[in-house]
Amino acid sequence: MGILPRSNMALHTNPNIFHYPTSADITNNSHGSDWLWAVTAFFAFFTCCIIGDSYRGPRRARAFHYLAAAVSVVTTINYFTMASNLGYVAIFVEFVRDKAHVRGDTREIYYVRYIDWFLTGTLLVLATLLTARTPLPIMLWTVFLTWMSVLTLLTGALVASSYKWGYFVISILSLFGVVYNLLWTARRYAARHTSAISRTYLSLAAWLSFMSLIYPISQIDPAVLGMAMRDYGEDEIVEKIHRAGEVAPAEATEGGVVETA
């Protein structure tokens, strides 16, 4: 029996040739920018409301106000950057289509939104786990999984080859770990307290878990992996629905709108 030939194609698929496009074919347009400016203004106003409301209580009771304000501030900066058509790089798409509204070899990938997710995701997870008075080791592990999920999504978004799917799988597995800790591990600690705390935690954890899981699915292309498989008008519709669902329970936010010219 002969020796099987080597099948490692990594260096062939990802050669030592770097392609950094100076411009993108699939980009934001004026309508998308208008929407992003509107979201920027909303979260700027929302930040002011949170900070103003924090002065109604004593300083020692403002922890959750500060966490919510931090989430809102980061989100405001993120949307300001995207509305200004900044904070992105041009990346080659994996699947090229011929339709006019999604035609092109390269598209904008807003790395600034992943910075947003990295910071706001951490803050939202901390705020939720603090509600259940979760032990510090579990909080640290859940935060690490949150970081892992966002950073691997960013890495995958910046990869032009099919290897991006490996990073996507790692990100989803990390996200499942976050959801498990939120809905199962920490829930047991919340149940040890009053029924009001337990109900509050369960509603926050369920909402955050649902939005965290549905977002990679709804934005798998193009916002997350930088491909070109769906209509960008559909992306904007999905994003508006997602934004409406995020704001109410815990002053949370992620993502952005990309619309093509």
pLDDT tens digit string along 180-218?
999 999 999 998 888 888 999 999 999 999 988 887 776
pLDDT band at 222 (very low <50, low <70, confident <90, very high): very low
Per DSSP, what are the bridge partners of residue 181?
Answer: none
The ranges assigned to domains in the chain are: 24-250
Of 91-105, 168-182, 224-238, which one has max mean pLDDT? 168-182
Residue 91 has pLDDT above 60, yes or no: yes
**Comparing C-alpha atoms, which of 243, 253, 259 is closest to residue 110?**
259
Q: Of how many residues is the chain composed?
A: 261
Residue 52 has pLDDT above 60, yes or no: yes
- Hey, what are 14's tokens? 């990802």
Mean predicted confidence (pLDDT) in 7-32: 74
Identity at 140, one-letter amino acid code: L
Q: Is the pTM of this model over 0.85?
A: no
Give whole-number Cα distances, 203 to 39, 64, 65, 163, in Å: 25, 16, 18, 37
Of 23-32, 66-75, 98-107, which one has max mean pLDDT? 66-75
Q: In percent, how much of the chain has pLDDT > 70?
A: 76
Ramachandran category for residue 238: left, alpha or beta (phi over 0 → left; psi -120 to 50 → alpha)? alpha
Q: Residue 222, preceding bond cis, omega within 30 degrees?
A: yes
More confident residue, 99 or 179: 179
More confident residue, 119 or 165: 119
Q: Into which CATH architecture does domain 24-250 fall?
A: Up-down Bundle (1.20)
Residue 147 has pLDDT above 90, yes or no: yes
pLDDT band at 257 (very low <50, low <70, confident <90, very high): very low
Residue 219 has pLDDT above 80, yes or no: no
Q: How far apart are CA 169 and CA 115, in angstroms?
A: 20
Residue 227 has pLDDT above 70, yes or no: no
